[in-house]
Amino acid sequence: MTSIERYQRLIAERPEEFIQSDKGLIRIVTDTDVLQQWQNEHPDKVIGVVYESKYHLMVVDLIDAGGCNYYTYERILEQNPGAAVILPITDDGKIVLLKQFRHAMREEQLALPRGFGTKKMTAEENARKEAGEEIGADDESPVELGTVVANSGLSGVRVKVFLFRVHDYRTVYGKEGIVECDAYTEEEFKNLIKEGRITDGFTLSAWSLYVNR
pLDDT tens digits, 141-187: 999 999 999 899 999 999 999 999 999 999 999 999 999 999 999 99
As beta bridge partners, residue 76 has 58, 155
Number of structural domains (the chain) is 2
Shared domain for 12 and 67, answered yes or no, is: yes
Residues belonging to the chain: 213
Q: Contact, 92 vs 167, CB < 8 A?
A: no
One domain, residues 107 and 185: yes
Tell me what pLDDT residue 14 has: 97
Q: Containing domain of residue 94, as a range? A: 84-211
Mean pLDDT, residues 94-117: 97
Q: At CB < 8 A and 24+ separation, what contacts does 16-25 make? A: 17/77, 17/156
pTM for this model (two decimals): 0.93
Phi, then psi, of 34 in degrees rounded to 5: -65, -45
The CATH number linked to 120 is 3.90.79.10
Same domain for 161 and 100: yes
DSSP string, 13-74: H-GGGGPPPTT--SEEP--HHHHHHHHHH-TT---EEEEE-SSEEEEEEEEEEETTEEEEEE
Same domain? 43 vs 124: no
Q: Of 104, 166, 103, which Cα lies nearest the Cα of 135?
A: 166
